Chains A and B, each alone.
Chain A
Amino acid sequence: KAGVTQTPRYLIKTRGQQVTLSCSPISGHRSVSWYQQTPGQGLQFLFEYFSETQRNKGNFPGRFSGRQFSNSRSEMNVSTLELGDSALYLCASSSIQGRAGTVRFFGPGTRLTVL
């Protein structure tokens, strides 16, 4: 099976712009979650989607949003970019939602640089 794919892999934006990142989960996986990784804060949970519904949300401002499509692919959007949004954005997929024994598999990430 192909793993989790994320596009684009690298992105450079300027302050005030918006950006959309895409994640395709492993075939058959219906749960997608997003994480932000920065040197200062480490890996932090953004949100999780299952069956096109947001099931869980981390402590991030409303500029960070996401959605999931019927084919389980997910996008996250960051509006009005700030310098501090520069980070590695990671997507993880799992087969079902709501089970701690279900493994989440991560994609390679999208490296966003805000200038």
Chain B
Amino acid sequence: AQKITQTQPGMFVQEKEAVTLDCTYDTSDQSYGLFWYKQPSSGEMIFLIYQGSYDEQNATEGRYSLNFQKARKSANLVISASQLGDSAMYFCAMKTSYDKVIFGPGTSLSVIP
């Protein structure tokens, strides 16, 4: 069965510090894609970063990096130099066969000044 697990319902981080949000996934597909989305309190879904299952290098986008460990089936999001505007829900997602995209339960991140 395809599943995304995010074990941290809520996280706190001090402004300017780095934070890691955990994500593990389960799929029997050989080819898949992993995403992270941010949902601020205003409600919109913002795409952050993508990692393909065959990509050998970890994806990076500005202050976001994805720590991809294929053997462990984990795709953790690292946010460096946290800012107050990073306070939001963060969702890990996976695209598998038939372009089906499933989401994890999310992690609520609060950045403390």
The answer to whether A binds B is no
Q: Which residues of A contact B (CB under 8 A)?
A: none
Q: Which residues of B contact A (CB under 8 A)?
A: none
